[in-house]
Amino acid sequence: MKLLRSALVSVFILLPLISFTAKAQVAVDATIGETNYGYKINGGSLNFSGDHPGVGFGITYDFLQEGRVHLLADARGGVTPNAYGGDKAIVALRVSFVPAQRHLSPYFQFGGGVIQTKLPAQSSIVQAQTFTSGGIDFALGVDYRITNSVDWRVLELESGAGGNNTKATASASLATGIVYHFHPTKPKNP
């Protein structure tokens, strides 16, 4: 998990540097929402722990703009600091649509990463446990442009799952938040 966190920090540092030298655009986001983490152990069925509040942070690199369709790389992480919570780190490819009015921007994304579920001690489990697995992730959302640099992430629905026959993790979340766009610098004429 430390290696994955280091990789995400590197992405957060390198993408803005790339953006300032290219014509692409970088955006960062912060979200709050409800996430439900699930787990499966010993080949049993998938159990979910209920909705718990959490926060998320991400960075998006808008590298291809074809008319009203944008293709973006997205790296994000989420934390639910609860005994039944979890963590996730996802890298995804996002497709965003910018309508003519340019206020609403619906998107979907598909990617993969790591999902970690925390399970506290219970009657069937002697001590607290953490389950981690790689998985796939899918998200749908809508951003609303407030200013040239700020969007309101009106709604994002995200779901991810991974594992094998004996152990698996999953997450499902509903979130809202703020997105800030860094605009590429334009070269100055001498």
**Which regions in the chain score pLDDT beneath 70?**
1-24, 102, 121-126, 184-190
For 46, the enclosing helix (H) or strand (E) is none
> pLDDT at position 14, please?
54
Angle (CA) 23-109-145 rounded to 5° is 60
Instruction: Count structural domains, the chain.
Output: 1
Q: Is residue 188 part of a domain?
A: no
Q: Is residue 187 part of a domain?
A: no
Q: Is residue 190 part of a domain?
A: no
CA distances from 161 to 15, 36, 87, 92, 151 (A): 27, 12, 13, 14, 28
CATH code at position 172: 2.40.160.20
Q: Mean pLDDT of all residues in the chain?
A: 83
Q: What percentage of the chain reaches a pLDDT higher than 90?
A: 48
> pLDDT at position 41, please?
78
Domain that holds residue 158: 2-182
The reported pTM is 0.79
Three-state DSSP at 141 gives strand
